[in-house]
Chain A
Amino acid sequence: MGTRTRPMRLGRVAQATVAALTAVGLWIAVLLPLNARSAETGNAGAVVSELQAALLAVMKQANALGYRGRVRRLTPVITETHDLPSMARYAMGRYWQELSPKDRNRLVDVFTRFSIANYAARFDSYKGQTFKQGGTKPQSRKRILVQTVLVKSGREEVELNYVLQERSGRWRIVNVMADGVSELAVRRSEFASVLRREGFPALLDDLEAKILELAQ
């Protein structure tokens, strides 16, 4: 599924090959015995841990790094641990189908920077927060739910649940639920609102503006 953004540059034969491989991959995923899948859930938990460790590290040196430093440090981690092209596609919903390949790439690019900016802006200080990892739950259609809790200073807790799916041989985050609120649902509603009113170029501008806003 995640291969969809790239094959545009490939030739026809290559496209067919990718499609065939994807199909085979799907079959294998479906046919994989349960124990094989449970072996992988460990990996999924590790992906979330990797992200949360990076976030903690950045938070602890938040001031020293500054916003730009946080962005620089988080960019490789976030692009590795997230399936950002898929997230961009889900956030667009049905409008995705209407986009040209070029526009899709532009959107994935700005969405990636927007997501990183969001993390960098939100995790900007350390007040003794910790992450506790709970269990994992296999979801339908080869997805996994990793449950964690963000314990803020004091006793305040935020339930952070991550949905991961496989892409290029590793589990990647495609959605985050903070106290049940789906990030993708929020994004999709926001996007739809802008798209309905002003169209796609405005959405790109809007996101760029938000990135600038987050940088301050």
Chain B
Amino acid sequence: MPDDRKPASNPRSAAGGLAPGSRLPLAMAAWVAAVCRAPVWVLIGAAALAALSAHYAARNLGVNTDTADLLSPDLPFLIAQRRFERLFPDYDDTLLLVLEADTPERAREAADRLASRVERESTLYESVFRPRGGDFFARNGLLFYGPEELASLADQLTEAQPLLARLSADMSLDGLFAVLAEAVESLESDRQGELTPILDGLGRAVAAQRGGQPYRLSWEQVMRGETPKSDANREFLIVKPRLDYGRLGARAPAVERLRELGAELGFDGHSGVHLRVTGEVALAYDELRTVIRGMEVVGVLALLLVSGLLYMGLGSARLAVVTLITLLVGLSLTAAFAAITVGRLNLISIAFVVLYVGLGVDYAIHFILRFEELRSGGADPARALRGTTLDLSGAFALCAVTTAIGFYAFVPTAYAGVSELGLIAGTSMFISLLSSLTVLPALLCLVPGTAREAKRSRETPWIFSALLDVPLHHRRRVRLGTLLVTAAALACIPEMGFDRNPLNLRDPASESVAALNALFAEKDNGYWNIVALAEDADAAQALAERLAALAPVDKAITVFDLVPGQQEEKLAIIEDLAFVLGPGLDPGQIRKQEHAPDETLAAMEGLREAFDARLAEGNAEPAFSTSLASATAALEDMHRRSMTAPPAERRRALESLESSLLSTLPSSLRSLNQALQAETVSRERLPRELAGRWVSPDGVYLVQVLARGDLTDPQTLARFVSAVRDLEPAATGPPVMNQGAGDAVVLAFKQALIWALVGIGAILLVVLRSVPWSLAVLAPLLLAGLLTGAGTVLFGIPFNFANIIAIPLLLGIGVDSGVHMVHRLRRGLPSGDHPLRTSTARAVFFSTLTTAAGFGNLALSPHPGTASMGELLTLGVLLTLVSTLLVLPALLPRRATCTSANPSARNTC
């Protein structure tokens, strides 16, 4: 870092290739002069080229939203993933439908209905699969209980038999009330728990009826004697859509149709059933939608803000428009370049637009401000243009080369998303340079404005002037402060993290993300499992056993887990149970007697009296007493309201209560009967659609590994992945992919940053021929980088797959600003100003602010990934600005900032 000692070489003589008198600036000046001789033709040519480019890009530039393609296909976990996808295509590109209902019966019935509707839409969907349902599990579900569990379930069902049988004889409110009255009177004290679910259900049904809410008592839960549990009320469907990735938005019809079907079937929560569409395909679709929606808002806002800032900074609408035109021409050329070289943009490389706007505008701002500076000094447009070009083209070229090196450094990394971005953005720097030295001079030639205008724009009051004096007045303090802040920032660096959870990048309010987060919140980790492949049955079982023994692993599942153990014992229990329950519980034989409302109300009173009598005995268990008391209150309330209601309404109220309390009984009995028909399950007799998901046609076995704990916790995820991969390196699946992608990205950025710094440093050394001056360019960059890293820790914006692209951009801006400042300082200052009042400082200030404004808007995007990108970029850009304008001048030797050519500024030195 340069200090107060004299720089190694005289700034004036060491300007090398950048000096106004050297070859490159002269050639550029000749070029600009040539442009100026026929500005109209140049502009027509540029407009035609831009239009052609834009047209070509619109036609040929696709967007690939498959996040797996962001990475290099040679990464080991991607090779494993491809093999898995080839062997088990059923798991790839699917939609997960999550149905939640107030009762298990309703959930199952809803899943049945939805499945049959989806099956009919065969043009959109290839297959529908019920991972925890379907005939196989309906029939053999009881075999998957443990023997003890099964035995106690059998006891429960046996106890419920008389009640169910009586209800089957008269499935009406009257029947229910009569049975309950009897049961309450005769119930032994240790069996009071049996009735609690029904009593509670009664209370809830009356409350729901009063409020006009849907409610259904689950007889399945009554039979099991269990309190309602949300997990049991969830059903899953896995739908494989027919996707044609050749078309943009291929996912839209498949996802939208499912949501339509959900709405048609009334699964929007009002009916007690709620459908949520998620899974890989829906996540990608929703993400793309929020990204686009975000980009629309952000794009318009960014354009407005950037235009406003340009107007402010340039002091003229004419110049702001000139800048925007220059920007647009370069942007269309860059898009065409991307279409030709890369062909398809991905979610990362699409950010070239943002990068281009951020960096491309810089040259134009610098050029215009210097031009105006010269004009205000009395130069005519042609001379001002020549002067500007001579002054700046060297710095521009150096900026373009160094920034391009920063971007090209990402090309060789394993992160294909960034590698492509590096190629496009790096090249765009040259395109931007070309456009700024062609389109911009042509426009300025055509509409140069007057010298008076230029003066006026120069005279725009400096709101920041006091601030800008700080580094020169308080050199020591700024240096000390910088030292302290740097030390503090260094302490924060070890805490820097990378968030590998792609769900955090997505809009948590979108259906697909909300559904998954709900599952993860309940530690249902089925969606994010690791998969491993085994070549034969023995290997699969051995692998599963070893994997299951790992601490972070909850269980490892193979096809053999579909064959329950201890079947003989369990089948004996089931057979016994079927016999003891008898043939009385046949849903086909349910009868319903007709009762007049008055009779029903009398039965209701009878039940209430029975409850009262039981309560009066006072020997009930506390829990039972509570249920009994609230059921009594509910009955009283229902009775009172029914008595006062007009007949039609009374009938309706009773009918609604009846349906709340009894409508799930037939389907519960049906599933019970099905479950009682369990038969021996063997590997060979598994249904093909089930076995096919576990064994590939050529006999490769799948092992699914489920994590223990909360997978949204990064440490849990990391432990899970590394434990499994240590044992089975060829394991894959979403957690491995996320973890692996994170590792690849972090490595890619580390490598690229080192290459970029080495490359930029080398170029600076060659061009500036001075170690201290090269360090002067790099210092603010490194400082800004360090501070931004610390900022991610302090503000809780960890790096992620989206915002990490801030790094190359900050690199670019940092280098540019440093080069411009150093360049200006080395060339000496114009009369009567201190260095921070030059057009250069102003250009650095405004071009950086424009960039910050453009990116700051990203923070408003509904897409958290985009938003975090905006937050990080704004933070980084502002820190770069501070480093360049506040810290850099304070770090430079006094002599460099107070030249003899600048006598009037002495008092500031």
Instruction: Let me know if A6 is at the binding interface, CB within 8 A.
Output: no
> Which residue in B190, B191, B584 is a CB contact (below 8 Å) of A180?
B584
Provide the bound-state CA to CA distance between A198 and B162, in Å.
Answer: 24
Given contacts A141-B575, A185-B158, A188-B158, contact A179 B580 (CB under 8 A): no
Contact with A along B564-601 (1 / 0, CB 8 A): 00000000010110111111110000000000000000
CB-defined contacts of B573 to chain A, threshold 8 Å: 94
A177 touches B582 (CB 8 A): yes
- Contact at B579–A175, with CB atoms within 8 Å? yes
A-B contact pairs, 22 of them (CB 8 A): A93-B155, A93-B580, A94-B151, A94-B573, A141-B575, A161-B582, A163-B579, A175-B580, A175-B582, A177-B165, A177-B583, A177-B584, A180-B584, A181-B165, A182-B584, A184-B582, A188-B580, A189-B159, A189-B162, A189-B191, A193-B190, A196-B190
- B-side contacts of A140, CB under 8 Å: 578
Bound-state CA distance A180–B584 (Å) is 5
- Bitwise, A160-201 to B at CB < 8 A (1) or not (0) is 010100000000001101011110111011101100110000
Contact of A179 among B154, B155, B166, B581 (CB under 8 A): B166
A67: min CB distance to chain B, Å = 24
Could you say which of B169, B575, B580 contacts A185, with CB atoms under 8 Å apart?
A: B580
- Contact between B583 and A181 (Cβ–Cβ < 8 Å)? no
B581 contacts across to A, CB distance below 8 A:
182, 185
The proximity string for A residues 28-68 relative to B, scoring 1 for CB distances below 8 Å and 0 otherwise, is: 00000000000000000000000000000000000000000
Measured CB to CB, the closest approach of chain A to B224, in angstroms, equals: 15
Select from chain B the residue with minimum beta-carbon distance to A192: B155
Taking a contact as CB atoms under 8 Å apart, the answer to whether B576 and A161 are in contact is no
Least distance between A51 CB and chain B CB atoms (Å): 18
Closest B residue to A163 by beta carbon equals: B582
Q: Which residues of A contact B585 (CB under 8 A)?
A: 180
Which B residues touch A180, using CB under 8 A?
165-166, 168-169, 582, 584-585
How many of chain B's residues have a CB under 8 angstroms from any CB in A? Answer: 25
Alpha-carbon distance between A94 and B165 when the two chains are bound, in angstroms: 23
* List of A residues within 8 angstroms of B161 by Cβ: 181-182, 185-186, 189
Tell me if B188 counts as interface (CB < 8 A to partner A): yes
Q: Which residues B407-434 have CB closer than 8 A to chain A? A: none
**Complex CA–CA separation, A180 to B669 (angstroms):** 14
**Chain A residues closer than 8 Å to B580, beta-carbon distance:** 90, 93, 175, 182, 184-185, 188
Contact A182 B190 (CB under 8 A): no
Q: Give the complex CA separation of A90 and B578 in angstroms.
A: 11
CB-based closest 5 A-B pairs = A180-B165, A180-B584, A185-B161, A182-B582, A189-B159
Q: Are B162 and A181 in contact (CB under 8 A)?
A: yes
Q: Is A116 an interface position by the 8 A CB rule?
A: no
Please indicate which of the listed interface residues A137, A161, A180 has the most CB atoms of chain B within 10 Å of its own CB. Answer: A180
Is A125 in the interface zone, CB < 8 Å from B?
no
Picked from A143, A181, A190, A197, the residue with its CB within 8 Å of the CB of B579 is A143
Closest A residue, CB atoms, query B157: A185
The smallest beta-carbon distance between A89 and chain B, in angstroms, is 9
Is A17 among interface residues, defined by CB-CB distance under 8 A? no
Q: A182-B584, A189-B159, A192-B155 are in contact. List 5 more A-B contacts (CB 8 A).
A: A93-B151, A137-B583, A161-B582, A180-B168, A197-B190
Kindly state the separation between the CA atoms of A175 and B579 in the bound complex, as whole angstroms.
9
Contact indicator B155/A185 (Cβ below 8 Å): no
Shortest A53–chain B CB gap in Å is 24
Q: How far is the CB of A1 from chain B (nearest CB, A)?
A: 11
- Which residue of chain B lies nearest to A91 when distances are taken between CB atoms in the complex? B580
Cross-chain contact A181 with B584 (CB below 8 angstroms): yes
Measured in the bound complex, the distance between the Cα atoms of B162 and A181 in whole Å is 5
**Chain B contact surface mostly:** helix
Let me know if A78 is at the binding interface, CB within 8 A: no
| Alpha-carbon distance between A180 and B589 when the two chains are bound, in angstroms | 10
Instruction: Name B663-692 residues within 8 Å CB distance of A.
Output: none
Which one of A141, A184, A189 has the highest number of Cβ atoms from chain B below 10 Å of its Cβ? Answer: A189
| Contact residues, A15-30 vs B (CB, 8 A) | none
A93 partner, pick from B158, B190, B191, B584, beta carbons under 8 A: B158
Contact string against B for A residues 119-146, beta-carbon threshold 8 Å, 1 for contact and 0 otherwise = 0000000000000000001011101010
Q: What chain B residues lie within 8 Å of A94 (beta carbons)? A: 151, 154, 573
List the A side residues contacting B576 at CB < 8 Å. Answer: 90, 93
Closest to A165 in B: B579
Which residues of chain B (63-114) have a CB below 8 Å from chain A? none
A29 to chain B, nearest CB (A): 15
Please, which residue of chain A has its CB at the minimum distance from the CB of B159? A189
Contacts of A184 in B (CB 8 A): 579-580, 582
CA distance A141 to B168 in the complex (A): 25
CB pair B162 A193 closer than 8 Å: no
Interface contact B158-A189, CB-CB below 8 Å: yes
A39 CB to nearest B CB, Å: 22
B583, A139: Cβ atoms closer than 8 Å? yes
The interface bits of chain B over 511-549 (1 if a CB of A lies within 8 angstroms of the residue's CB, else 0) are: 000000000000000000000000000000000000000
Interface residues of B in 111-163 (CB under 8 A from A): 151, 154-155, 158-159, 161-162
The residues of B that contact A190 with a CB separation of less than 8 Å are 188
Instruction: Give A211 Cβ to nearest chain B Cβ, in Å.
Output: 19
B190–A181 touching, CB < 8 Å: no
In the assembly, what is the distance between CA of A93 and CA of B166, in Å? 22
Residue of B nearest to A174 (CB): B579
Residue among A94, A174, A190 with the highest chain B CB neighbour number at 10 A = A94
Chain B residue nearest to A189 (CB atoms) is B159
Flag B341-373 by CB within 8 Å of A: 1 or 0 each.
000000000000000000000000000000000
Residues in A neighbouring B583, C-beta threshold 8 A:
137, 139, 145, 161, 163, 177
B716 to nearest A CB, angstroms?
Answer: 40
Minimum C-beta distance from B188 to chain A (A): 5
Q: Is the CB of B188 within 8 A of A193?
A: yes
Task: Tell me if A186 and B191 are in contact (CB < 8 A).
Answer: no
The interface bits of chain B over 212-248 (1 if a CB of A lies within 8 angstroms of the residue's CB, else 0) are 0000000000000000000000000000000000000
Give A175's nearest chain B residue, CB to CB.
B582
- Cα distance A186–B186 when bound, in Å? 12
Contact residues in B for A163 (Cβ distance below 8 Å): 579, 582-583
The chain A residue with its CB closest to the CB of B573 is A94
Structural contact, A93 and B154, CB atoms closer than 8 A: yes
Most central of A137, A141, A163, A182 by chain B CB within 10 Å: A182
* Least CB distance, B183 to chain A, in whole angstroms: 11
Give the shortest distance, in Å, between B436 (CB) and chain A (any CB). 87
- B154 surroundings in chain A (CB, below 8 A): 93-94
What is the 8 Å Cβ interface bit string for chain B, positions 808-828, against chain A (1 contact, 0 not)?
Answer: 000000000000000000000
| A161 & B584 in contact (Cβ 8 Å cutoff) | yes
User: What separation, in Å, do the CA atoms of A78 and B418 have in the docked complex?
Assistant: 87
**In the complex, A180→B573 CA distance in Å?**
21
Knowing A94-B573, A175-B579, A175-B582, the reply to whether A182 touches B165 (Cβ < 8 A) is yes
B contact residues around A93 at 8 Å (CB) = 151, 154-155, 158, 576, 580
Select the residue from B165, B168, B169, B578 with max chain A CB neighbours within 10 A: B165
Name the residue among B191, B575, B580 with the largest chain A CB count within 10 angstroms.
Answer: B580
Chain A residues in 8 Å Cβ range of B579:
90, 141, 143, 163, 174-175, 184
Does the CB pair B169–A179 fall under 8 Å? yes
A182 CB, nearest partner CB in chain B, Å: 4
Q: Nearest-CB distance from B168 to chain A (Å)?
A: 6
Q: Mark B158-197, 1 if CB is under 8 A from A, else 0.
A: 1101100110110000000000000000001011000000
| Distance of A111 Cα from B151 Cα, bound (Å) | 23
B128 to chain A, nearest CB (A): 32
Q: How far is the CA of A190 from the CA of B190 in the complex (A)?
A: 10
| Interfacial chain A residues near B584, Cβ < 8 Å | 161, 177, 180-182
**Distance in angstroms between the alpha carbons of A163 and B573 in the assembled complex:** 19
Asked if B165 and A179 sit within 8 Å, CB to CB, the answer is yes
User: Nearest B residue to A196 by beta-carbon distance?
Assistant: B190
A184 to B157, CA, bound (A): 12
Question: Whole-angstrom distance from the CB of A133 to the nearest CB of chain B?
Answer: 17
- Please report which residues of chain B, range 485-522, place their CB below 8 angstroms from some CB of chain A when the two chains form the complex: none
Q: Chain B contacts of A139 at CB under 8 A?
A: 583
